[in-house]
């Protein structure tokens, strides 16, 4: 019976391929993988039976182990102010990503016959991909972040025979300034079409006129024909419920030169906007002599963007300031391996913070990321490079820039120019060419490519050397001058540059570790401590940067500033500034959210300022300071309300009100910085409170003095038990969906215990498996994938993954001396 079913399914697939217009099959399963570099590994006849079996997306380096010996950078990081070379450990995460990895798989194309075309598309492969099909090289793509594809029609077998696919990847030492990941960490697809077809990224959809009554949608469609015949292109626009809202027919003429451009009209359009992800879809049908040859689908959105001198960024006719975050591509304990559930969770957490835009620093994002941003209403600034031709790191993109920059930009723009979430291109980050006489020419060359491929979006460049880019004109030639840090020079930039605009393309770089507080509470630059952490009082920052409020005030008081992209939303693997040489330290301390996805205090500072929909009332620090009785222990409150009164054990500590009179001018002197002048405008601070165990309560007041909210935290008693809380309790039974479960320790009354660092062991039963865990501690050498991890200040996050069989996943957590806990996740 089973065999019969199998044959029947195979037959069906075969028939559908034979008559299908196009097929797209992801190649996720069945991969073999090795770290041995054997040149024969691309041969068709080759014994890979002792290679590891893996599923992609797969990041070979995330399984560790961590070591300071991995990718030591012996150099001075000049942009960080270093003048002599030192040894940098953990700059790329302390993970074993360098070297060669081989992947092999087989695929067959049932019913494949002469006349059909076959494309293989890689969403991104880290890095220097060499792709072989049936023993012959299909192509090479060095950039590890970009999507690329090869036409492999001439290399595949007909009629459903197995084709051998082999991919060799190679990462070099000193190729990155952060953890790049390793391997086939994004998806691979086999696409087949007829001989007449619409090529990869063959449509370009723009909305040149949008008003309340209608949107004019221009659709340019590339068409590849096969021999003589009459070609007709039918274009339809579907709304979100698949209703056809506009349609058009055109005959291909020799004058079209293989590209048909048509205007369609959508009446009463629903606009795509921030958190209003109204999407449409263009369906393009290509007919030859009346027979359907290809059907191609393009999701898009209807919205307008404009850059206006002195006005800033205008979305759908409304001025919007970027409340943005920079994010690297890694997903914490999952490494670089792309995963939809992890991306959705990341964007959800950022939206809760009030974030409206993400800068994909410093590279091309995964297609899943852009699609999900479309679907969740998150704007993206898509970046291409951290380096042009002049190196920052020895084996960085400088090795490829001259030959590949144009190809890389063309691919990323063709790939994402229909996505409404993408609102700006960014061609570089703090490139060395800033200090080069010819720097503006290179910027111009790259910006021109962007304009040629997509005239609808502005182009920026993250520049951190104002003097150099004023004098070599690099800043003046950009559509949008983007400045990294030094916001105290925005006014000068505005006066000197022709655009009458300033974007904070990268800002802040504040430092903190979740749940760590340092005394006395003082503003510090590059502070280092024996525990390799930073204070969560949010008073510490990198030498080239400042505190969050030093940027808030610029964007609030200067009308021509376009908003900012803070460094960073989440912590990421690598770049443990300022602990360059202080091992262990493998991940950043810059995030408003830690590597596990748990908000730090700073998250609530941003939320109180950025999230206008929801109230914020957050107290710090925790109130378990055994040994600090009677000592000065300041209390800070982050709230959207203008004032609040603080009580310790019922005793008022006074009322504080945000000081809105703090001006931009004069509030950044050394003295003012020391006195937290600008902070007083945005946070409420009680600097002289003394610790005594008990309760800390805060009552918030509105402008009229009415008490509108309150919050209380308590000194926790003895740690009693574990508590588990999942971000989602129902997930898909698709073998890749994830639930993120936060593990906390509480006392017998349920108060969180902020100082527990016990080992927690996990056991997973039922319809899933343990995928990974993280505790947000940059010094932890616990391996992410093992089902055990030390708590960091009373918390960690465990991740479970579904199987393809629906059922219940049970995660059980145990720790010495604590009541164990378990949680059920349903998979459907
Ligand atoms: C910037 C750079 C980022 C990161 C950051 C840390 O200069 O663009 O990639 O290194 O500093 O503060």
430 is catalytic: yes
Alpha-helical segments (H) within 749-825: none
Ligand 1 atom closest to Cα of 545?
12
pLDDT value for 158: 83
CA of 764 to the centre of ligand 1 (A): 39
Ligand 1 atom 6 nearest Cα: 509
DSSP string, 178-228: S----BS-S-EEEEEE-SSBPPTT-EEEEEEEE-SSEEEEEEEEE-B--SS
Phi/psi of residue 769, nearest 5 degrees: -145, 165
**Nearest residue CA, atom 12 of ligand 1?**
509
pLDDT exceeds cutoff 70 at 617: yes
List domains and CATH numbers for the chain: 2-61+97-194 (2.60.120.260), 203-300 (2.60.40.10), 325-509+544-590 (3.20.20.80), 625-714 (2.60.40.10), 721-827 (2.60.40.10)
Per-residue pLDDT tens over the stretch 714-772 = 999 999 999 999 999 999 999 999 999 999 999 999 999 999 999 999 999 999 999 99
Q: From the CA of 79, give the closest atom in ligand 1.
A: 7
Ligand 1 atom with the smallest distance to the CA of 430 is 8
SS3 of residue 284 by DSSP: strand
Closest CA to 336 of 356, 364, 357, 372: 364
Residue 518 belongs to what H/E stretch? none
Pocket test for ligand 1, best of 575, 579, 588 (most atoms within 8 A of CB): 575
Structure tokens at 1: 């019976």
Indicate which residue of 236, 387, 430, 453 is catalytic. 430
Give the number of other Cβ atoms within 10 Å of residue 286's Cβ.
29
Confidence label for 227 from pLDDT (cuts 50, 70 and 90)? confident
Q: Name the 3-class secondary structure at 104.
A: strand
What's the CA angle centered on 142, arms 426 and 29, to 5 degrees?
105
Rounded to an integer, what distance in angstroms lies between the CA atom of residue 267 and that of residue 214? 4
| d(C-alpha 208, C-alpha 216), whole Å | 6
Residue 207: pLDDT band (50, 70, 90) is very high
CA 545–ligand 1 middle distance (angstroms): 10
Is 665 in the active site?
no
Residue 523 token pair = 């503003």
Residue 400 burial (CB count, 10 A): 19
Distance from the alpha carbon of residue 69 to the mean position of ligand 1, in angstroms? 23
Across the range 280-308, mean pLDDT stands at 98
**Per-residue confidence (pLDDT) for residue 15, from 0 to 100:** 40
Q: Which of 567, 571, 578 to mutate to test the pocket of ligand 1 (most atoms within 8 A of CB)?
A: 567
Residue whose Cα lies nearest atom 4 of ligand 1: it is: 567
Give the CA distances from residue 423 to residues 124, 409, 464, 580, in Å, rounded to whole numbers and listed in that order: 22, 16, 22, 35
Sign of CA dihedral 546, 548, 554, 555: positive
Ligand 1 centroid – CA 429 distance (Å): 9
Distance 453 CA to ligand 1 centre (A): 28
User: pLDDT by residue (tens digit) across 14-35?
Assistant: 444 444 799 999 999 999 999 9
Query: What's the distance, CA 243 to chain centroid?
Result: 32
Tell me which residue of 397, 262, 386 sits closest to 326, measured CA to CA. 386
pLDDT, mean of residues 223-233: 94
Q: For 496-543, what is each residue's pLDDT tens digit?
A: 999 999 999 999 999 999 999 999 999 999 999 999 999 999 999 999
For a mutational test of ligand 1's pocket, the pick from 426, 505, 509, 540, i.e. the residue with the most ligand atoms closer than 8 A to its C-beta, is 509
Ligand 1 centre to CA of 72 (Å) is 19
Q: What are the structure tokens assigned to 170, written together?
A: 């190679």
CA of 542 to the centre of ligand 1 (A): 10
Are 760 and 796 within 8 A, CB to CB? yes
pTM: 0.97
Length of the chain: 828
pLDDT at site 558: 97
Question: How confident is the model over 37-62, as a mean pLDDT?
Answer: 98
Which residues partner with 429 through β-bridges?
462
The residues, ordered by sequence, that sit 6+ positions from 754 with a Cβ below 8 Å of its Cβ are 515, 622, 624, 716, 793, 794
Ligand 1, closest atom to CA 509? 12
State both tokens at 466.
Answer: 């104002």
Pocket test for ligand 1, best of 381, 396, 430 (most atoms within 8 A of CB): 430
Q: Which of 364, 374, 352, 368 is nearest to 327 (CA)?
A: 364
Q: What residues are in contact with ligand 1 under a 6 Å CB criterion?
A: 79, 429-430, 464, 484, 506, 509, 542, 567, 575, 577
Phi and psi angles of residue 627, each rounded to the nearest 5 degrees, phi first = 100, -15
Angle between helices 367-376 and 401-416 (to 10 degrees): 40
- The active-site residue out of 174, 387, 506, 575 is 506
Determine the distance separating the centroid of ligand 1 and the alpha carbon of 375, expressed in angstroms. Answer: 29
pLDDT tier, 110 (very low <50, low <70, confident <90, very high otherwise):
confident
3, pLDDT greater than 50 = no
């Amino acid at each position: 019976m089973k065999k019969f079913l199998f044959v029947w399914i195979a037959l069906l697939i075969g028939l559908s391929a034979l008559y299908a217009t196009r097929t797209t099959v992801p190649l996720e399963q069945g991969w073999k993988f090795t770290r041995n570099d054997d040149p024969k590994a691309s041969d068709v006849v080759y014994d890979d039976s002792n290679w590891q079996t893996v599923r992609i997306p797969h990041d070979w380096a995330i399984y560790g182990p961590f070591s300071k010996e991995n990718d030591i950078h012996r150099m001075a990081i000049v942009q960080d102010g270093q003048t002599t070379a030192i040894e940098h450990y953990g700059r790329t995460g302390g993970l074993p990503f360098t070297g060669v990895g081989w992947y092999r798989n087989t695929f067959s194309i049932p019913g494949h016959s002469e006349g059909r075309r076959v494309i293989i598309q890689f969403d991104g492969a880290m890095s220097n991909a060499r792709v072989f099909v049936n023993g012959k090289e299909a192509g090479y793509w060095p950039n590890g972040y970009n999507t690329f594809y090869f036409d492999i029609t001439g290399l595949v077998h007909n009629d459903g025979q197995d084709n051998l696919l082999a991919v060799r990847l190679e990462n070099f030492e000193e190729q990155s300034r952060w953890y790049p990941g390793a391997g086939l960490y994004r998806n691979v697809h086999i696409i087949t079409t007829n001989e007449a077809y619409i090529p990869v990224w063959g449509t370009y959809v723009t909305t040149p006129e949008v008003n309340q009554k209608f949107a004019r949608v221009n659709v340019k469609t590339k068409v590849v024909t096969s021999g003589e015949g009459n070609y007709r292109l039918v274009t339809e626009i579907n709304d979100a419920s698949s209703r056809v809202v506009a349609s058009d027919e055109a005959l291909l003429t020799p004058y079209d030169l293989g590209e048909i451009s048509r205007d369609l009209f959508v009446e009463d359009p629903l606009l795509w906007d921030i958190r209003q992800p109204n999407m449409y879809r263009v369906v393009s049908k290509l007919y030859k002599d009346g027979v359907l040859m290809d059907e191609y689908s393009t999701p898009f959105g209807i919205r307008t963007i404009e850059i206006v001198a002195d006005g800033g960024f205008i979305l759908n006719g409304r001025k919007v300031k970027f409340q943005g975050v920079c994010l690297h591509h890694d997903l914490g304990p999952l490494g670089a391996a792309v995963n939809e559930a992890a991306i959705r969770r990341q964007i959800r957490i950022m939206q809760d913070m009030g974030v409206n835009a993400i800068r994909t620093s410093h590279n091309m994002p995964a297609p899943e990321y852009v699609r999900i941003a479309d679907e969740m209403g998150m704007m993206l600034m898509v970046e291409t490079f951290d380096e042009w031709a002049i190196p920052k790191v020895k084996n960085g993109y400088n090795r490829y820039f001259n030959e590949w920059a144009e190809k890389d930009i063309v691919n990323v723009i063709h790939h994402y120019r229909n996505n409404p979430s993408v609102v700006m291109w960014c061609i570089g980050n703090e490139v060395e060419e800033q200090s080069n006489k010819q720097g503006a020419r290179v910027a111009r060359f790259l910006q021109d490519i962007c304009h040629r491929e997509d005239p609808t979006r502005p182009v920026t460049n993250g520049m951190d050397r104002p003097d150099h880019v004023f004098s070599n004109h690099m800043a003046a030639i950009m559509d949008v001058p983007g400045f990294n840090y030094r916001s105290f020079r925005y006014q000068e930039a505005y006066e000197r540059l022709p655009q009458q605009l300033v974007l904070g393309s990268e800002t802040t770089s504040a430092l903190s570790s979740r749940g760590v507080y340092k005394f006395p509470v003082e503003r510090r630059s590059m502070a280092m401590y024996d525990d390799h952490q930073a204070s969560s009082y949010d008073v510490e920052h990198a030498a080239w940067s400042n505190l969050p409020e030093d940027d808030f005030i610029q964007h609030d008081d200067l009308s021509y500033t376009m908003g900012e992209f803070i460094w960073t939303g989440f912590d990421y693997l690598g770049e443990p500034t300022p602990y360059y040489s202080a091992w262990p330290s493998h991940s950043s301390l810059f995030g408003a959210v830690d590597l596990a996805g748990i908000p730090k205090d700073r998250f609530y500072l941003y939320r109180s300022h950025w999230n206008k929909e929801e109230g914020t009332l957050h107290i710090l620090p925790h109130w378990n300071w055994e040994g600090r009785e009677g000592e000065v222990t300041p209390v800070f409150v982050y709230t959207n309300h203008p004032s609040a009164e603080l009580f310790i054990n019922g005793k008022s500590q006074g009322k504080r009100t945000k000081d809105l009179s703090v001006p931009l001018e004069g509030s950044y002197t050394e003295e003012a910085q020391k006195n937290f002048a600008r902070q007083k405008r945005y946070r409420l601070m009680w600097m002289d409170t003394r610790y005594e165990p008990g309760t800390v309560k805060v009552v918030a007041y509105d402008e009229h003095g009415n008490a509108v909210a309150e919050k209380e935290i308590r000194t926790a008693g003895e740690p009693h038990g574990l508590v588990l809380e999942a971000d989602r309790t129902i997930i898909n039974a698709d073998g890749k969906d994830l639930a993120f479960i936060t593990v906390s320790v509480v006392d017998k009354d349920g108060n969180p215990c902020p100082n527990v660092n016990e080992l927690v062991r996990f056991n997973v039963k039922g319809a899933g498996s343990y995928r990974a865990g993280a505790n947000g501690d940059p010094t932890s050498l616990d391996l992410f994938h093992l089902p055990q991890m030390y708590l960091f200040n009373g918390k960690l996050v465990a991740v479970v993954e579904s199987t393809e069989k629906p059922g219940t996943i049970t995660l059980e957590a145990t720790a010495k001396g604590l009541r164990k806990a378990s949680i059920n996740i349903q998979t459907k």
